């Protein structure tokens, strides 16, 4: 939900008009798709990276507004939490040195953001959840001052009608807590990857991303601690989902759809996903835009479809369809929202290469696994849960090459034997330089071989400190301090020494 909110409608008449506009704009989207109006010539990629700010004591620093004023970069913006910022890497092509250019651009922006943070007594940390963040940090002052964020918080709480419930079971520890706001969502810092797709190719690209969700998270997990507890390897996923669950418990028990989800079935088209967001989700932020989309379209223009975009932006699919207009032309893209931030720029670049490469290879297949009739969508959801819970120690489901049926695979073995060759194939199809391909595959292979993700390194470092007599509070602070040092050194996490 990247657009600012100037004021949501609250009257029954206003909400009725908003719903009518949503349905009308679905019709416009359908006609744009039928007319072949979408930009398809150059496949562009994009990346957004959310960063946390911490003070010298390795505690969250609520300095994001000050840091942004010092940085003065329009590509770096606020995020929901007052201790977080977001870096937007300009869209680019993957061909030739595109992947390396993305990494270099990202590194330069990180260094600039860190320099601005130092001017305000803070440092930038790339991590899925700041492990030293405590419940008291998410009371007064937790939210960035913004009409958009305030409206979102109020809307989720109003629809739910009671405090939000966080109930997350780790292997040995459990978090059971209530929150009067969506503040726990602000603890989550992620990486979003964007891949443009033509209307004809969209379903294949989206389904490839869905199938990859479990292995992608298992390989990149970096959020093992929240509120002082060791939960999932990628605790960010359940924290985010539960912190924005606008359903009262009774509606959840009846099977009313959650707003944060992977999906319920393989995708047939981009239109079907937008239609689902309109038909099955009550509006959270019903704001009426000035644009008359039907009139713009009737006059031969390309409408922004502001209401439809806002509605789609408040259904948080882990692989979300995006409609946008650039230079007067509409385009579609898949926004992948599963990755945590960190641990290093090199790791994030390798994670991006993994996704862009594997998605390309799977989508280009003549016999796509999800089209062979033997692969239920439930295996994608099951693998995502398993990968998020146990990372590279998990057992995942993956289609057998010969039969197309799902079989159990060790996560690390699946990555090394099956997925990295796919990544190589896809990056080669993109035209990425061989040297860059070898570099990123080396990073990913080392991580899978050692089974040392950011989450595993954090877990091991805290366990070692507690074994030496530290309490959890001391262990988390010491671990994050060492994590930040290794992060700034820049070496990939698969080769980090013990904390």
Name the pLDDT band for 2 (thresholds 50, 70, 90). Answer: very low
Burial pattern 184-197, b for ≥16 Cβ within 10 A else e, equals bbbbbbbbbbbbbb
Taking the C-alpha atoms of residue 127 and residue 224, their distance in angstroms, rounded to an integer, is: 10
pLDDT above 50 (res 186): yes
The H or E element spanning position 322 is: strand 319-326
- CA 435 to each of CA 100, 218, 444: distance values in angstroms, whole numbers, following the listed order: 10, 25, 15
Name the pLDDT band for 1 (thresholds 50, 70, 90). Answer: very low
Taking the C-alpha atoms of residue 369 and residue 377, their distance in angstroms, rounded to an integer, is: 11
pLDDT, tens digit (0-9, with 9 covering 90-100), for 58-72: 999 999 999 999 999
Residue closest to 322 by CA, chosen among 14, 38, 5, 129 = 38
Pairing of strands 329-340, 319-326: antiparallel
Residue closest to 152 by CA, chosen among 291, 2, 11, 318 = 2
pLDDT number for residue 364 = 97
pLDDT, tens digit (0-9, with 9 covering 90-100), for 419-466: 999 999 999 999 999 999 999 999 999 999 999 999 999 999 999 999
pLDDT number for residue 4 = 52
pLDDT above 60 (res 28): yes
Top-confidence residue, 96 or 138: 138
Q: Which fold has domain 42-265+311-495?
A: Creatine Kinase; Chain A, domain 2 (3.30.590)
| Paired strand residues for 177 | 166
pLDDT number for residue 94 = 84
Contact 412, 392 (CB under 8 A): yes
Q: Is the dihedral of CA 63, 69, 70, 75 positive or negative?
A: positive
Q: What is the CA radius of gyration of the chain?
A: 22
SS3 167: strand
| Average pLDDT of span 248-277 | 97
pLDDT number for residue 3 = 54
Residue closest to 329 by CA, chosen among 32, 27, 4, 21 = 32
pLDDT, tens digit (0-9, with 9 covering 90-100), for 35-93: 998 987 778 999 999 999 999 999 999 999 999 999 999 999 999 999 999 999 999 88
Q: Residue 5: CB partners within 8 Å, gap ≥ 6?
A: 147, 148, 151, 152, 285, 287
Q: What are phi and psi of 473, to 5 degrees?
A: -60, -50
Is cis: bond before 382, omega within 30 of 0? no
Entry field: residues in the chain = 499
Q: What is the mean pLDDT of the chain?
A: 96
Answer yes or no: pTM beyond 0.85: yes
């Amino acid at each position: 939900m990247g657009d600012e909110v100037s004021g949501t409608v609250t009257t029954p008449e206003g909400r009725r008009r908003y719903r009518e506009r949503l349905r009308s704009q679905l019709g416009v989207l359908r006609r744009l798709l039928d007319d072949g109006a979408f930009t398809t010539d150059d496949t562009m990629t994009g990346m957004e990276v959310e960063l946390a700010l911490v003070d010298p004591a390795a505690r969250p620093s609520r300095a994001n507004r000050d840091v942004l004023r010092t940085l003065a970069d329009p590509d770096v913006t606020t995020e929901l939490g007052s201790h977080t910022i977001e870096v937007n890497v300009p869209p680019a092509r993957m061909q030739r040195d595109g992947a390396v250019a993305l990494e270099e651009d990202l590194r330069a922006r990180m260094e600039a953001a860190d320099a601005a943070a130092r001017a305000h007594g803070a440092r930038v940390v790339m991590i899925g959840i700041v492990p030293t963040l405590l419940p008291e940090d998410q009371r007064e002052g937790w939210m960035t001052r913004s009409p958009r964020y305030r409206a979102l918080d109020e809307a989720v709480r109003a629809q739910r009608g009671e405090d939000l419930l966080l109930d997350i079971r780790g292997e040995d520890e459990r978090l059971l807590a209530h929150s009067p706001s969506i503040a726990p969502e602000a603890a989550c810092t992620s990486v979003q990857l964007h891949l443009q797709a033509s209307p004809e190719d969209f379903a294949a690209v989206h389904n490839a991303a869905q199938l990859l969700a479990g292995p992608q998270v298992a390989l990149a997990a970096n959020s093992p601690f929240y509120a002082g507890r060791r939960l999932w390897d990628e605790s960010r996923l359940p924290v985010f989902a539960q912190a924005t669950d606008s359903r009262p418990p009774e509606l959840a028990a009846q099977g009313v759809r959650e707003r944060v989800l992977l999906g319920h079935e393989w995708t047939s088209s981009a239109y079907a996903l937008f239609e689902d967001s309109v038909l099955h989700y009550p509006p959270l932020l019903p704001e009426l835009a000035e644009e008359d989309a039907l009139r713009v379209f009737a006059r031969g223009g390309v409408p922004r479809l502001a209401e439809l975009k806002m509605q789609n932006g408040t259904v948080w699919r882990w692989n979300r369809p995006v409609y946008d207009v650039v230079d007067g032309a509409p385009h579609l893209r898949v926004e992948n929202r599963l990755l945590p931030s960190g641990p290093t720029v090199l790791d994030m670049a390798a994670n991006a290469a993994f996704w862009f490469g594997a998605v390309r290879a799977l989508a280009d297949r003549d016999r796509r696994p999800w089209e062979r009739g033997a692969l239920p969508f439930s295996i994608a959801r099951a693998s995502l849960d398993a990968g998020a819970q146990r990372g590279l120690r998990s057992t995942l489901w993956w289609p057998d090459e010969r039969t197309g049926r799902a079989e159990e695979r060790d996560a690390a073995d699946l990555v090394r034997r099956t997925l990295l060759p796919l990544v190589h194939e896809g990056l080669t199809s993109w035209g990425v330089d061989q040297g860059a391909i070898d570099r990123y595959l080396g990073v990913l292979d080392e991580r899978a071989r050692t089974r040392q993700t950011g989450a595993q390194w954090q877990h091991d470092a805290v366990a070692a400190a507690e074994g030496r007599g530290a309490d959890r509070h001391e262990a988390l602070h010491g671990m994050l301090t060492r994590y930040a040092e290794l992060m700034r050194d820049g070496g990939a996490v698969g080769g980090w020494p013990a904390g």
